[in-house]
Structure 1
């Protein structure tokens, strides 16, 4: 159990603050206990929920299989979009993918691109169980997400929520800045561990990180990225990234209530672990469905290409296995936005060959063309990107069918006409016309 410490609020520069926020006063900042080494003792219900979630994650990882390495970038996009929607940063899958490739676009999209890269960095680097996680690693992770901020732990008091700009009116006040270094060092040691149920460890790491709130900005996205680090380090997931934040984004009230439970007196750790485990199970189902939909779509676009080539009298109608057009199709899940230059670099072919292949796929209706002021910017695999949008909308109604329940927030409903001759996503993922 943590403790509250009393602090004084005296705004140094109150010129831009409202009347209520200019008022000095005393407030309480919450200092959590250190985590130590072992997992907390849980009740039977929470332990059972964590064990069930671990089994579901393992089955999902097995069903997705080695193909998960090709789908992970798409899943990371889904995770990052939802993670950012939690914080009010609303961006579409297509806008994100274009900003990622071209390194340009609206601030919101570029922020989510940073989240994508941080998640990939966490999986590639911090997930190595042969090395310990350090405070410096966590600082580096946050700096990738928020490169505009000075690197390092916060040197001032921060707070979360509330109607104004004052800790006196905040929904939650994290520990004083003087406590942050030791608490982050303790968190890093705990996140390094791999014993016990990794779902429980991931749940505790995330809640503790959000409670410490060790940075001025980027705490939510960094904390959600650490979930993947813990699950991968413990070998709970080998192939796929399971986008748990997509479920958190669907019910932010429950998410915030769960974090509040974790900080209660006494802490309601069981309630938080149960909620986290349920989110993990729903996210696993989402990831499996997305993988299945992508596999079906990949098969459809191959058939469409063959039909197009046959109708045009191109020979051979079925391209050779090493043909550039087929090599592009094989990677649309991970690279749904392309330029001739990006394809040339990635596949090791000439820009001219890349341009011919992309043009053929566009003429076949498989790729779209994104333009700005009449100038071609890139080619886009709109149906692959639409599947991410449908997943996001489904998450916002509890992971179910959006045919009868319209999501309150989330990416716009994809245009069903863009699915062309290929079959659209299965009914359990579709939106009804007009939603």
Structure 2
């Protein structure tokens, strides 16, 4: 019998029988088979991650990109779960002004940002562990639709995927009484020094999704886990890899690959899919980062021509690099210049085509650093219903 396939446990609830799946511990046995294609993908993925990390480290302020990339990943990951928020929606929401934005959706994305930031902060004092995952889950489900689904607590009841009950579900994770055994083995694997970081991140994501330890938020937390593992292993100093773009773009294959691990033990097929995503997403992130830096330099070079207004315009441009969607209140507080001067600078940057007013209002206007926002929001439109 192939030990990669796990086992099923017959369970009963309200008089109905169903089979819950209990995965074997990681790493897979028999061991992973690395053919020429898989080895080449792993080498290329590691090379491009090194380039992305080096590019970020060479920036005068890596936080410029980090702030936006974390939000891009949050939007993409939440869209996989069906939210209809865009990156622009999130950035407007963070100004406390979200006209027409689906509030539950944008709050869900905002919680994802806070959960990732909490995890990154806690890695300074706490290893990646069940405790940290529970903390992040509490932040992830602090508000919005999941707030009633036991934030920060492992489930004490059976959950399932697809269908209306465990008996007709597409997939049923381990029953509650088996959950801590599965999670204990999972945590041991997180600390395994023998498994290369990228392979560990790929395997751990599938195992977490298979165990499905929470009542809600498992998909989003499982994708957060990838970023945290790569940062903890120092493969990336900053989580600039928005891998959810690959999962969103190839959503059907994503779910099929997860399923084939459970039904066929096809870890190698999952790894090929995962590593192709790392290669493509890291290459795109490098390219986008270079374009953003070039845009900043070119736009800054245009501002001294504004004469007396140039100092205020340069200060506003610095603010827009960190907050590409902003308003006069936030900008005035950030750069410490009189509101009237800030409004004049917005007008001049609008004339130059650097800034676009988003609301059409005469008051409470919201401004976007247009070319920068277009670069950031590529591929972040919600999926069709």
TM-score range, shorter chain: 0.7 to 0.9
Please, what TM-score do these two structures have when normalized by structure 2? 0.85
Q: Deviations over 1:201-248 (max 9, x none)?
A: 100111111111111111111110110111011111124511111111
Change (3 A) 1:389 1:108: same
- Given the alignment of the two structures, is residue 378 of structure 1 paired with residue 366 of structure 2, yes or no? yes
What RMSD over aligned residues (CA atoms) do the two structures have, in Å? Answer: 2.8
Given that 2:160 and 2:171 are in contact with CA atoms closer than 8 Å, whether structure 1 keeps it comes out as: yes
Structure 2 counterpart of 1:338: 326
- Given the alignment of the two structures, is residue 145 of structure 1 paired with residue 140 of structure 2, yes or no? yes
- Rounded to whole Å, the distance in 2 between the matches of 1:348 and 1:136 is 41
Q: Deviations over 1:51-89 (max 9, x none)?
A: 331122112222343334321122122212211221111
Superposed displacement of residue 102, structure 1: 1.5
- Rounded to whole Å, the distance in 2 between the matches of 1:29 and 1:135 is 22
Look up the SS of the partner of 1:379 in the other structure.
strand
Structure 1 counterpart of 2:47: 55
Superposed displacement of residue 279, structure 1: 0.7
Q: Whose helix fraction is larger, Structure 1's or Structure 2's?
A: 2
Structure 2 counterpart of 1:220: 219
Q: How does 1:269-418 map to 2 (within 5 A)?
A: 269-307=267-305, 309=306, 314-315=307-308, 319=310, 323-348=311-336, 354-371=342-359, 375-392=363-380, 410=383
Superposed displacement of residue 193, structure 1: 4.5
- Rounded to whole Å, the distance in 2 between the matches of 1:5 and 1:146 is 30
Given that 2:160 and 2:169 are in contact with CA atoms closer than 8 Å, whether structure 1 keeps it comes out as: yes
Structure 2 counterpart of 1:426: none
Given that 2:128 and 2:228 are in contact with CA atoms closer than 8 Å, whether structure 1 keeps it comes out as: no
Q: 1:116 aligns with which of 107, 113, 116?
A: 113
Change (3 A) 1:168 1:304: farther
- Given the alignment of the two structures, is residue 79 of structure 1 paired with residue 77 of structure 2, yes or no? no
- Rounded to whole Å, the distance in 2 between the matches of 1:111 and 1:222 is 12
Change (3 A) 1:348 1:180: farther
Q: How does 1:149-228 map to 2 (within 5 A)?
A: 149=148, 150-151=150-151, 152-162=153-163, 165-193=164-192, 195-228=194-227
Superposed displacement of residue 351, structure 1: 5.1
Unaligned runs of 5+ in 2: none
Given that 1:4 and 1:29 are in contact with CA atoms closer than 8 Å, whether structure 2 keeps it comes out as: yes
Corresponding pairs, count: 367
Superposed displacement of residue 390, structure 1: 2.2
- Rounded to whole Å, the distance in 2 between the matches of 1:350 and 1:140 is 41
Look up the SS of the partner of 1:102 in the other structure.
coil
Change (3 A) 1:385 1:161: farther
- Rounded to whole Å, the distance in 2 between the matches of 1:207 and 1:43 is 17
Given that 1:367 and 1:379 are in contact with CA atoms closer than 8 Å, whether structure 2 keeps it comes out as: yes
Given that 1:338 and 1:380 are in contact with CA atoms closer than 8 Å, whether structure 2 keeps it comes out as: yes
- Rounded to whole Å, the distance in 1 between the matches of 2:232 and 2:30 is 19
Look up the SS of the partner of 1:88 in the other structure.
coil
Given that 2:231 and 2:238 are in contact with CA atoms closer than 8 Å, whether structure 1 keeps it comes out as: no
- Rounded to whole Å, the distance in 1 between the matches of 2:140 and 2:239 is 22
Structure 2 counterpart of 1:125: 122
Change (3 A) 1:125 1:360: farther
Considering Cα pairs closer than 8 Å and 6+ residues apart, tell me whether 1 or 2 has the greater RCO: 2
Given that 2:17 and 2:167 are in contact with CA atoms closer than 8 Å, whether structure 1 keeps it comes out as: yes
Please, what TM-score do these two structures have when normalized by structure 1? 0.76
Change (3 A) 1:248 1:204: same
Superposed displacement of residue 372, structure 1: 8.1
Unaligned runs of 5+ in 1: 11-23, 394-408, 412-435
- Rounded to whole Å, the distance in 1 between the matches of 2:84 and 2:371 is 20
Q: 1:29 aligns with which of 17, 20, 42?
A: 20
Given that 2:51 and 2:286 are in contact with CA atoms closer than 8 Å, whether structure 1 keeps it comes out as: no
Superposed displacement of residue 288, structure 1: 1.1
Superposed displacement of residue 410, structure 1: 4.4
Q: Deviations over 1:66-118 (max 9, x none)?
A: 33432112212221221122111122221111112327542211211111222
Q: 2:32 aligns with which of 22, 42, 47?
A: 42
- Rounded to whole Å, the distance in 1 between the matches of 2:18 and 2:195 is 38
Look up the SS of the partner of 2:322 in the other structure.
coil
Structure 1 counterpart of 2:12: 8
Given that 1:50 and 1:197 are in contact with CA atoms closer than 8 Å, whether structure 2 keeps it comes out as: no
- Rounded to whole Å, the distance in 2 between the matches of 1:283 and 1:53 is 10
- Name whichever of 213-222 and 55-64 sits farther off: 55-64
Q: Deviations over 1:183-212 (max 9, x none)?
A: 334333433445541110100111111111
Superposed displacement of residue 306, structure 1: 4.3
